[in-house]
Structure 1
Amino acid sequence: MSQPQLSVVIPAFNEEGNVATLVDEVLAALRGVVPFELVIVDDCSRDGTLAVLQAAKARAPELRVLAHQRQSGQSTAIRTGVKAARAPWVATLDGDGQNDPADLPKLLAARDAGPADVKLYAGWRVNRQDTGSKKWASKWANGIRSRLLRDATPDTGCGTKLFERAAFLDLPYFDHMHRYLPALMQRAGWKTTSVPVNHRPRGAGASKYTNLGRALVGVRDLMGVAWLIKRSKLTDVRELE
């Protein structure tokens, strides 16, 4: 396969009912649009996710499957995929199928029309298809995060994102970092922008998060990211001739 210009990275944990459809949707969205590879990272699933992905490889030469040998969480799975990616730009989607691969060309078009110092295009779920309690919890968390971090991002929880691989790998790594990518990119001196995207109900399986669990972890992480931002220093560098 030729060198890809885009790597699509999808973390998956117990998503045997969703990953086959997701693979086909990525192929339909990107074939003929951009040379790409699809990297799905299985986070030690306990169901048939790996078997479904192995079968999908027969119809999808763009597909690469990486398997964690120990469950490590979504941020680690994303980072595993980004480290393995062969393209300079990476798009991410959640493995539950709620993100729409048809939005990927829209993100690419936004990047092509945007300035060079924008290194992250973050999906913005303007019409979320979640339960009322989940939408309320997300709205509450987004409000607190926005006031504390001032990242000017209405929706950091959307899995649909497009970013420069090198810029991502230069960010500090920690569990749950994927929820704070706009603030971390801005801390590194880059600009970010939000792009409205589609959102769909979960097709199969169950959510891996609860509102309470997300909130308890989120408070600690939020304080940590605020500390990182406060302690950061940026400067221009000039090399002498």
Structure 2
Amino acid sequence: MPEAVASAASAAALRRQTDHGGAPDISVVIPLFNEAPTVPELARRLSAALDRLGRTWEVVIVDDGSTDGSFDALRAVHAADPRYTVVRLRRNFGQTPAFAAGFDAARGAIVVTMDADLQNDPDDIARVLAAMEAGGLDIVSGWRQDRKEPLLLRRIPSRIGNRVMTRLTGVALHDTGCSLKAYRADVIHNTRLYGNFHRFIPAVASWYGVTVGEVPVRDNAREHGTSKYGRGLMRAPRVVLDLLTLHFLLNYATRPIHVFGGLGIASAGLGLVFGAYLTVLKLVGHQDIGNRPLLLLAILLVIVGVQFISMGFLGELVVRTYYESQNKPIYAVREVLDGALPAG
């Protein structure tokens, strides 16, 4: 199993550092990298949008190793309003680790995520929360129906990725790349992020049996600079690999023998069929098979099949060691109704 981006010890330490009293109703988590010109406007619009909700709130902004003065701007925001928590990472770790650090620091009953460039409109937070409460949902994702990004470099790759993710994971969302999402705290705190899985959190959390919905949101044009976390076609190969990894983890993480064993049986079985065919030619047809490439292919397929099955057995041992050493359950409970029935 891949290593999580944050250990349990570091997560607990971060929560202690950011725990200043009672938990707010809503936590907004924002990863940020080199967005200094946007910070004052981001804080102004966020505060106005959150104050209109009539709930207690906090904003956790994770400075992902910015080098343009973003942290100084964030320091000023925090000094003006202590409801803004700033987590500064030592270097640029990437968007998924930045989100993970923000989730570890978040204390709200509902955790909302969004980007720092204001392409996600802070006023749409109310719309996402309303959809969550109306449907009793665990996760609500924003759906940017009128995107302002380039068609070829961003929108077409995004549409393809959304369809592939729906097919592989079974989580039907029109816009998995929209960072404006809302999560129940128990869902997000029990979801470990790996690699670049931040865009697939609803799919990762689907293992727990969550309910997922989406709501149309606005997509504003970026006012300052360009995207700092990858661009369109440049990140497409990484997204495809992440999707394949996610599909494997969701479906076969606890039973790798079903993958490798199936491939092994298919390979070895095909090799045995070829071998049987050559045997018939030798014994019945009295033909020379020693120089036939099919003989080498049959032997190779049997050897590869045995190796695949052996990999499946080793995978089963690794999975059992992983779950048993951490006392990690292979199930998730939504609720329990217990207690003796009243006497009749």
State the TM-score bracket (shorter-chain normalisation).
over 0.9
Alignment partner of 2:147: what SS? coil
Give the whole-Å Cα distance in 1 for the aligned partners of 2:194 and 2:86: 23
1:194 aligns with 2:220: no
Counterpart position of 2:90 = 69
Report how far residue 172 of structure 1 moved.
3.2
1:239 to 1:32, Cα distance in 2 relative to 1, 3 A = closer
CA contact (8 A) 1:13 1:42 kept: yes
1:178-217 equivalences under 5 Å are 178-208=198-228, 209-217=230-238
Which consecutive aligned stretches of 4+ in structure 1 deviate over 4 angstroms post-superposition?
Answer: 232-241
1:131 aligns with 2:150: yes
CA contact (8 A) 1:13 1:45 kept: yes
The structure that is helix-richer by fraction is 2
Amino acid at match of 1:91: V
Query: Which of 103, 110, 127 is the equivalent residue of 1:106?
Result: 127
Report how far residue 136 of structure 1 moved.
1.3
Report how far residue 239 of structure 1 moved.
9.1
Report how far residue 189 of structure 1 moved.
0.9
Structural RMSD (CA) = 2.0
Give the whole-Å Cα distance in 1 for the aligned partners of 2:232 and 2:131: 32
Amino acid at match of 2:220: R
Bigger relative CO (Cα 8 Å, ≥ 6 apart): 1
Report how far residue 42 of structure 1 moved.
0.2
The two structures have a TM-score, normalised by structure 2, of 0.66
Query: Which of 219, 244, 247 is the equivalent residue of 1:226?
Result: 247
Report how far residue 110 of structure 1 moved.
1.5
The structure that is strand-richer by fraction is 1
Give the whole-Å Cα distance in 2 for the aligned partners of 1:235 and 1:11: 29
CA contact (8 A) 1:17 1:203 kept: no
Give the whole-Å Cα distance in 1 for the aligned partners of 2:166 and 2:225: 31
Q: Deviations over 1:158-215 (max 9, x none)?
A: 0101001221121232021111122112221111101111111111011121223311
Percent of residue pairs identical: 35
Q: Deviations over 1:119-138 (max 9, x none)?
A: 11111111111112211111
Amino acid at match of 2:182: L
1:107 to 1:235, Cα distance in 2 relative to 1, 3 A = closer
1:1-20 equivalences under 5 Å are 3-20=23-40
1:3 to 1:144, Cα distance in 2 relative to 1, 3 A = closer
Give the whole-Å Cα distance in 2 for the aligned partners of 1:24 and 1:60: 11
Q: Deviations over 1:47-90 (max 9, x none)?
A: 11111111222332311111000211111111111111121211
Q: Which structure would you say has the larger Rg?
A: 2
Amino acid at match of 1:94: D
Give the whole-Å Cα distance in 2 for the aligned partners of 1:15 and 1:235: 39
Alignment partner of 1:17: what SS? helix
Alignment partner of 2:80: what SS? coil
CA contact (8 A) 1:171 1:184 kept: yes
Counterpart position of 1:58 = 79
Give the whole-Å Cα distance in 2 for the aligned partners of 1:189 and 1:80: 24
The two structures have a TM-score, normalised by structure 1, of 0.92
CA contact (8 A) 1:185 1:191 kept: no
CA contact (8 A) 2:208 2:332 kept: no
Alignment partner of 1:58: what SS? helix
Counterpart position of 1:171 = 191
Gaps of 5+ in 2: 1-20, 255-329, 340-344
Counterpart position of 2:117 = 96
